[in-house]
Amino acid sequence: MKNVSRDGGSGLTRRGFIGTGGAVVAGLAAGPSFAQEKADALAVKGGPKAVTFPPAQVSALTRWPRFGEAEKKRLHELIDSNKFYHELPMLEDEWKRYTGSPFVKAHMNGSSALTSMYFALDLPPGSEVMVPSYTFFSACLAMRFFGLVPVFVDIDPKTACFDLEDAKRKLTPQVRAVEVMHSWGMPCELDRIGEWAREKGLILLEDMAHAHGASMQGRKVGTWGAMAITSFQASKVMPAVEGGMGMYQTREYYERAAAFGHYEDPERFPDDSPVRPYAGTGFGQKYRMHPFAAAVAREQLKGLDELNARVEKNVRAMNDRLTQLPGLAEPRLRPDQKRVYYHANMLLVDSKKAGFSRGAMMKALKAEGVRVHAWDYPEQHKLKIYSEAKWWHHAPRIPESMPGNAEVNAGHLFLPLVYGEAPELIGQVVKAFEKVWAHREEMASL
Ligand SMILES: Cc1ncc(COP(=O)(O)O)c(C=O)c1O
């Protein structure tokens, strides 16, 4: 991926900035670039909309999940074959090859993969696990069943990912593991976090439910931690409607995680496996992935890299221009990180630099026909269950504030991902932003 500078959303020297339309919006110099945008009244004030692309076509280009003939054919074939369960080892083999994981196990969803992972940890009750508060509930709650307690860590507002400096401040003698989450497809800094974890004797875990296909230094996310999970739920980058996968670096973790919710697995394990005696029962759960979902996942995996590349190309066409507008930036990415895009194209907003509020921005952009939205990702530490000691081995500490979470939630925009060829639509969306920015003075009073 082209490593555009994300410095304050501009990434340009003053000289470069004056040479672009950015100079006009910032009022630094007169220039021709945004003359038309400035002349056109804002749609929110009754002017013409910048996005005139037919709404039905926008919906078709941004629709998710995207299943087609291949999935339908596979499902029909599977039903006719009557050999449903063969799908699961085939998906596992393919996922193993794709990610380079030595051991994997398909689970019925990401949450059951998480539960199995916490069981596999086999830590004494009262052990603590560092997790971002900016995550999905099961990443923090599933550990409860094994007496583990979350220590909530903030996110870095420039990446929306695990903030190592905050983790360092919050380390306690009870912490035994660190679980990171690759928010919206952005890899966490796995090298730095991993090094710190090793130095402190902590087990690194990864939640890559947002990041199918992302990598760092050429190594797929999900293979840096001792264990990792992902989800194939309908909204995810590789959807199968429901489904999940665990990835394990050691045979011990794999066997224990698989035995938890897969009663038939232990009999296939070597004689010396500590969980082999639990063949026929496992440990009380049944977490098998539905074979129909596995069939869909296998088809989706075939097209995953191509889809990620198409999405990235469209994001670049949009963001290379949008990030030249003052106050708009992408999450910061290192050159050795390869991200993917989950859910949306997230932009970070600095209202001071833009000169107007995010609310005004969204109102004006929506009026221009841009499908922009914002969504506060749940902050786990604020939810009721963590404040009640009765559910936990010991009460989780509830941080007074999480400035990183707050900044990202209050300061982002989500734009729909475009999955097809649509230069015209992308051009119109860019024009809409440039038009709104060209009316910065008016925007301040919107
Ligand atoms: C970060 C994260 N982890 C775990 C999960 C759990 O996955 P599932 O919905 O398949 O249980 C999700 C699901 O949304 C998620 O977003």
Per-residue tokens: 50: 């910048």
Per-residue tokens: 242: 């429901």
CA 15 – ligand 1 centroid, Å? 45
Residues of the chain with pLDDT under 50: 1-32
Residue 405 has phi, psi (to 5 degrees) of -55, -50
273 lines ligand 1 (CB under 6 A): no
Confidence (pLDDT) at 317: 98
Sign for the CA dihedral angle at 429, 430, 435, 438 comes to positive
Residue 125: cis peptide before it, omega within 30 degrees of 0: no
- For a substitution probing ligand 1, which of 140, 212, 233 has the most ligand atoms within 8 Å of its CB? 233
HEC string of the chain equals CCCCCCHHHCCCCHHHHHCCCHHHHCCCCCCCCCHHHHHCCCHHHCCCCCCCCCHHHHHHHHCCCCCCHHHHHHHHHHHHHCCHHHHHHHHHHHHHHHHCCCEEEEECCHHHHHHHHHHHHCCCCCCEEEEECECCHHHHHHHHHHCCEEEEECEECCCCEECHHHHHHHCCCCEEEEEEECHHHCCCCHHHHHHHHHHHCCEEEEECCCCCCCEECCEECCCCCCEEEEECCCCCCCCCCCCEEEEECCHHHHHHHHHHHCCCCHHHCCCCCCCHHHCCCCCCCCCCCCHHHHHHHHHHHHHHHHHHHHHHHHHHHHHHHHCCCCCEECCCCCCCEECCCCCCEEEEECHHHHCCCHHHHHHHHHHCCCCCECCCCCEHHHCHHHHCHHHCCCCCCCCCCCHHHHHHHHCEEEECCCCCCCHHHHHHHHHHHHHHHHCHHHHHCC
Confidence (pLDDT) at 413: 98
The 10 Å Cβ neighbour count of residue 400 is: 6
Rounded distance between C-alpha atoms, residue 103 and residue 87, angstroms: 17
- The three-point CA angle 46-47-51 to 5° equals 115
Confidence (pLDDT) at 33: 61
343 lines ligand 1 (CB under 6 A): no
230 lines ligand 1 (CB under 6 A): no
State which ligand 1 atom lies nearest to the alpha carbon of 111.
11
CA 111 – ligand 1 centroid, Å? 6
Per-residue tokens: 133: 């508060």
Confidence (pLDDT) at 36: 76
CA 298 – ligand 1 centroid, Å? 19
233 lines ligand 1 (CB under 6 A): yes
Residue 86 has, within 13 A of its CA and on its CB side, a CA count of 8
- Any idea how long the chain is? 446
For ligand 1, atom 7: residue with the closest CA? 110
- For a substitution probing ligand 1, which of 64, 107, 108, 111 has the most ligand atoms within 8 Å of its CB? 111
138 lines ligand 1 (CB under 6 A): yes
CA 229 – ligand 1 centroid, Å? 9
135 lines ligand 1 (CB under 6 A): yes
Rounded distance between C-alpha atoms, residue 226 and residue 117, angstroms: 10
- The three-point CA angle 417-99-301 to 5° equals 50
380 lines ligand 1 (CB under 6 A): no
CA 137 – ligand 1 centroid, Å? 8
20 lines ligand 1 (CB under 6 A): no
Confidence (pLDDT) at 163: 98
State which ligand 1 atom lies nearest to the alpha carbon of 244.
10
List Cβ neighbours of 130 (8 Å cut-off, separation of 6 or more): 150, 151, 153, 167, 170, 171, 175, 177, 178, 179, 202
239 lines ligand 1 (CB under 6 A): no
List Cβ neighbours of 116 (8 Å cut-off, separation of 6 or more): 105, 107, 246, 257, 258, 260, 261, 285, 287
Q: Look-up: residue for tokens 């969306």?
A: 429
**Could you tell me how far CA 437 lies from the centroid of its own chain?**
28
State which ligand 1 atom lies nearest to the alpha carbon of 181.
1
10 lines ligand 1 (CB under 6 A): no
Strands across the sheet containing 345-349: 328-329, 345-349, 412-415
Residue 33 burial class via C-beta count within 10 angstroms: exposed 0-12, middle 13-18, buried 19 and up: middle
For ligand 1, atom 8: residue with the closest CA? 110
- The three-point CA angle 317-320-326 to 5° equals 140
| Residue 197 vs residues 162, 168, 227, 248: alpha-carbon distances, Å | 13, 10, 14, 17
Confidence (pLDDT) at 27: 41
State which ligand 1 atom lies nearest to the alpha carbon of 109.
10
CA 175 – ligand 1 centroid, Å? 23
Rounded distance between C-alpha atoms, residue 362 and residue 348, angstroms: 13
Confidence (pLDDT) at 24: 39
212 lines ligand 1 (CB under 6 A): no
State which ligand 1 atom lies nearest to the alpha carbon of 114.
4
Are the C-beta atoms of 425 and 417 separated by less than 8 Å? no
341 lines ligand 1 (CB under 6 A): no
244 lines ligand 1 (CB under 6 A): yes
Confidence (pLDDT) at 29: 36
- For a substitution probing ligand 1, which of 118, 136, 342 has the most ligand atoms within 8 Å of its CB? 136
Confidence (pLDDT) at 39: 81
CA 3 – ligand 1 centroid, Å? 29
Residue 45 burial class via C-beta count within 10 angstroms: exposed 0-12, middle 13-18, buried 19 and up: exposed
